[in-house]
Amino acid sequence: MGSYLLGNFITMIFVNNVEVGYDRLAVAMPLNGQFCSGSLTAVIGANGAGKSTFLKTLAGLQQAVAGNITFTGGKRPRLAYLPQQAELDRGFPISVFDLVAMGCWPQSGLFGGINRQSATAVDNALHTVGMKEMSHLPVGLLSGGQLQRTLFARLLVQQAPLIMLDEPFTGIDTQTTDLLLKVIAQWHREGKTVIAVLHDISMVARHFPHVLYLSAQQNLWGSTPDVLGHFPHQAHACISTEPFSLTTGVANS
């Protein structure tokens, strides 16, 4: 991945010798690279490799241990961030419609009501993810897959140029996964920059053109065929618990 002055490959995010972790303790090797505007990147690696920590650092939710992250134009673009479901409070008394409407806050303000145009956008987003008939239900009654569809609908109405997803397919059904992959593909066609933490390598190989692999030993960053080519025996594996065995050197680019 690189930076070009012409064409569609203009860098949005520069990662410069970044180390991520907690309490000034890094959990992965220093990282250098760029996310191009409109790119679709999967972040992979064994548990504890710093995938979610890196995503939170990119989103500005925590500080890097070392190094710096800079953005074209000098400031972080408007972004939509989806945390892991385990971090969400499902007991909060809110309907499906109102949860999705929270994505309109950048336009309406935190305490402003939504106008007819925003309400239509919410309805359209719910229709896209197959949740319009459940718009009146409290989110506490939803299954894991239904909740994730609702959260993707909220991302849709946010219309952010940068979208970050932390393990968006963990614990949800196959039908929902297929539908949400289509939403991600549509974002990619629209030129949005999407970065997703994932575990399923076969999914990465089929749907994500770029990969960032993080580990405590070394990082790999580049096109999906190049990065996954380092792991020929695990090309169709799920890497939620088992670390990779690297056979070649660092391939940051």
- The answer on 115 and 200 residing in a single domain is no
Using the predicted structure, report yes or no on whether residue 111 has a pLDDT greater than 60: no
Residue 42: per-residue pLDDT: 98
In a domain, 185, yes or no: yes
Per-residue exposure over 104-128, b if at least 16 CB sit within 10 Å of its own CB, e if not: beeeeeeeeebeeebeebbbebbeb
- The answer on 197 and 124 residing in a single domain is no
159, 176, 208: which is the final residue of a domain?
Answer: 159
134, 159, 184: which is the final residue of a domain?
Answer: 159
In a domain, 82, yes or no: no
In a domain, 248, yes or no: yes
- Res. 253 pLDDT band, cuts 50 70 90: very low
Residues 110-121, mean pLDDT to the nearest whole number: 77
- The answer on 169 and 146 residing in a single domain is no
Mean pLDDT rounded to a whole number for the chain: 85
Structural domain total, the chain? 2
Q: Which residue has the tokens 């490799």?
A: 49
Residue 137: per-residue pLDDT: 96
- The answer on 25 and 121 residing in a single domain is no
In a domain, 85, yes or no: no
Q: Which residue has the tokens 């994500």?
A: 208
Residue 34 neighbours by CB under 8 Å, 6+ apart = 1, 2, 3, 11, 12, 13, 14, 15
Using the predicted structure, report yes or no on whether residue 197 has a pLDDT greater than 50: yes
- The answer on 193 and 171 residing in a single domain is yes
Residue 88: per-residue pLDDT: 73
- The answer on 101 and 7 residing in a single domain is no
159, 174, 190: which is the final residue of a domain?
Answer: 159
Q: Tell me, what CATH number does 194's domain have? A: 3.40.50.300
In a domain, 246, yes or no: yes
- The answer on 99 and 43 residing in a single domain is no
Residues 209-237, mean pLDDT to the nearest whole number: 83
Share above pLDDT 90 across residues of the chain, in percent, rounded to a whole number: 68
Range of the domain at 143: 91-159
In a domain, 84, yes or no: no
In a domain, 152, yes or no: yes
Alpha helices, DSSP H only, in the chain? Answer: 51-59, 96-101, 105-108, 116-128, 144-158, 174-189, 201-207, 224-228
Query: pLDDT by residue (tens digit) across 65-85?
Result: 999 999 998 899 999 999 998
